Structure 1
Amino acid sequence: MKPTLLLALLLCAPLARAQETPRTISRLEPDSIGIGDRFDLVIEVEKDLVQVVEFPTFEPPAGSGFEVVALPPVDTLERDGRRLRLAKRYRLAAFEEGRFNLGRAQVLYADKNILDTLQVGDSLLLEVGTFRIDSTSHSIFDLKGQRTLPFRFAEIRGYVAWGLAALALLAAAAWALRRWLAARGRRLGDLFRPAPPLPPHVAAIRALEALHHQKLWQNNRHKLYYSGLTDILRTYIAARWEIGAMEMTSDEIVAALRDTELPDKARRDLGAILRNADLVKFAKATPEAEENEADYLKCYYFVEETKPADPDPATLEEKMENDR
């Protein structure tokens, strides 16, 4: 090979290599903002298809007055054959006034056996301004007190209209209810009057039926069963003859009813029930099934045989009129 040709190849090799290096530029959009506004730091790289570049990660230090708002992905601006032009945007915000030098951006570049860092353009300068107040043309005043506006009926007119309509509906409903009650011989006050207490014999019969449905003695709970029977009897006797049966013993109850007009069978049944209940509660006796059922029937018929006679219909009607 001729020396002249060899020298030309050696001189062109570095030039060709220099042309293969990616070209980079950077800029701020815009480069002058107000405090608190946003701006974009843009880095563009033009490279070969096989070359690899890595854009920097912008992480402003704490207390620097800058904040990363968004990091859009890398955008391909142009592609011409093997040449690519890429752009990376960093959306930032500034919160301190002044003139800042953001330095030169750096892009990591790799190609075959080459790993290098490319310095992007010149240093980036950012101007951050704030509001200027001309105290000669603008005066600063203290905060004004709360202003009290005059009352206007139009502000509550809708509420008043709806309230009157509701009252009219309530009055109409009350009038219709009163007419309905009057047609049935009742008064409006009867709706709020508490229900009269049940007669003692009715309350006792209902309590006996409820006790029977619990099936206590069938589940070997004889003491609870007989305690329920005697409590129902004591309550009935106390209300029927107005004696303190709840605090009396069985013998005292029988003695208290000695001068009372009772059928002989009812008197015998009462004594038998109270005696059997004492044996179960205090002597832990266990009656047979037939005896348990028989004592229940004795209680039931004792109440039925000793309940007051039904009042005369005329007397009952007169009592209802007096209650009104």
Structure 2
Amino acid sequence: MKRLFTTLLLLMGAAAQAQPSVPTITAHIAPDSILIGDRFDLVVDVDKDLVQVVEFPQFENKPGSPVELYKEHPIDTLERDGRHLKLRKRYTLAAFEEGKWNLGRPAVLYADKNIVDTLWARDSVYLEVATFQIDSTSQSIYDVKPQWNLPFRFGEVSGYAQWGALALLLLLAAAYALKRYLESRGKRFGDLFKAAPPQPPHVVAIKALEALHHQKLWQNNKHKQYYSALTDILRTYIAARWSIGAMEMTSDEIIEAMRSAELPDKAGMDLTAILRDADLVKFAKATPEAEQNEADYLKAYYFVEETKLAEEEPTEEPDPMNNQNT
């Protein structure tokens, strides 16, 4: 019986040793007394078992807090003896308010099997922040001195003036050389700064149609956007080509106004077909087939090509040297 009792005691002791105890949390500040604006370290140590999981606190700079986080250091392993671990986490903080502050008890999050808990350090940590003491009896206080203006000396800027004059001469020489070069080519210096002449309406319309084709709107089921863009291109072209306010007109008003433009029969029929199809899509929510979308695009393209103004061919200027020889 005595042997059985001894065996039970040994088994209970082994079971107690097999179950790790709860981690121990300690914390301290170094140094615990600083001047305002200085930095200090908050050190949190955890003694725990190897299988236990702890998460150290996360500090955030909150408005009105007497301290601010400057740097968070990685976790260090101080000791490791079998299953026993001692971990250390260090935070560098700074204080900007005078006084003696109670920073509370640091805590860590503890997880072991089905247990999740918050473990607190046993003691609170205190920080004393002092400021500079000024002895007004031994130190005199004076007003701020006014700004001291030194006399100007040309030697201080003579180097900049010489380099500036040299750069100006080089620019003038380059401009003169460019002017002589342009005159030798029969051009004027002012031609370099002239704005490019506006493009003809049909060129603008063709470029807009090609850009619309590359957007692939109707291929992505955006039929309303496709026909709105297509008719806007034609309205802009008609307004520039015949000086008609097509942008503010309805489809019927545009068709009626274009009767006096003496369009080719096919061009007039194509314009009417495009505007009718666009109205069905925009207002009746019709969904045309792919062949109709492509056909309307080609009708718009050929409408612009068939109705564009004929480009004037440049005439060759007579050579004055030939006139003198004759």
TM-score by length of 2: 0.50
How far apart in 2 are the matches of 1:267 and 1:221?
A: 27
Residue 115 of structure 2: aligned partner: none
Residue 212 of structure 2: aligned partner: 211
Bigger drift between 147-156 and 226-235 goes to: 147-156
One-letter code of the match for 1:279?
Answer: L
How far apart in 1 are the matches of 2:289 and 2:151?
A: 89
Residue 279 of structure 2: aligned partner: 278
* Superposition map of 1:87-106 within 5 A: none
* Superposition map of 1:67-216 within 5 A: 151-216=152-217
Deviations 1:211-257 (A, max 9, x none): 00011111111111101110000000000000100000001001111
Q: Does 1:249 align with 2:250?
A: yes
Residue 70 of structure 2: aligned partner: none
Residue 304 of structure 1: aligned partner: 305
TM-score by length of 1: 0.50
Residue-pair matches, total: 177
How far apart in 2 are the matches of 1:261 and 1:178?
A: 50
TM-superposed CA distance for 1:178, in Å, is 1.8
Residue 223 of structure 2: aligned partner: 222
One-letter code of the match for 1:309?
Answer: A
TM-superposed CA distance for 1:175, in Å, is 1.5
TM-superposed CA distance for 1:196, in Å, is 1.8
Q: 1:150 to 1:276 in 2, by over 3 A?
A: closer
* Superposition map of 1:42-57 within 5 A: none
How far apart in 1 are the matches of 2:313 and 2:271?
A: 29
SS at match of 2:195: coil
Deviations 1:51-79 (A, max 9, x none): xxxxxxxxxx99xxxxxxxxxxxxxxxxx
Q: 1:280 to 1:151 in 2, by over 3 A?
A: closer
How far apart in 2 are the matches of 1:145 and 1:281?
A: 75
How far apart in 1 are the matches of 2:216 and 2:275?
A: 20
How far apart in 2 are the matches of 1:233 and 1:152?
A: 69
How far apart in 2 are the matches of 1:146 and 1:223?
A: 70
TM-superposed CA distance for 1:147, in Å, is 7.9
SS at match of 1:259: helix
How far apart in 1 are the matches of 2:148 and 2:300?
A: 82
Residue 292 of structure 1: aligned partner: 293
SS at match of 1:176: helix
Residue 86 of structure 1: aligned partner: none
How far apart in 2 are the matches of 1:147 and 1:226?
A: 73
How far apart in 2 are the matches of 1:223 and 1:210?
A: 17
Q: 1:156 to 1:255 in 2, by over 3 A?
A: same
TM-superposed CA distance for 1:180, in Å, is 3.0
How far apart in 1 are the matches of 2:209 and 2:281?
A: 18
Q: Unaligned regions of 5+ residues in structure 1, if any?
A: 1-60, 63-143, 319-324
Q: Percent identical across equivalent pairs? A: 73
TM-superposed CA distance for 1:148, in Å, is 6.9
TM-superposed CA distance for 1:145, in Å, is 9.2
Q: 1:229 to 1:146 in 2, by over 3 A?
A: closer
Question: What RMSD over aligned residues (CA atoms) do the two structures have, in Å?
Answer: 2.7
How far apart in 1 are the matches of 2:255 and 2:248?
A: 13
Q: 1:146 to 1:198 in 2, by over 3 A?
A: closer
How far apart in 1 are the matches of 2:234 and 2:162?
A: 61
How far apart in 2 are the matches of 1:277 and 1:249?
A: 11
Q: 1:151 to 1:237 in 2, by over 3 A?
A: same
One-letter code of the match for 2:239?
Answer: A
Q: 1:147 to 1:294 in 2, by over 3 A?
A: closer
How far apart in 1 are the matches of 2:223 and 2:184?
A: 53
Q: 1:145 to 1:284 in 2, by over 3 A?
A: closer
How far apart in 1 are the matches of 2:285 and 2:307?
A: 30
One-letter code of the match for 2:301?
Answer: Y
Q: 1:298 to 1:154 in 2, by over 3 A?
A: same
Deviations 1:91-120 (A, max 9, x none): xxxxxxxxxxxxxxxxxxxxxxxxxxxxxx
One-letter code of the match for 2:268?
Answer: R
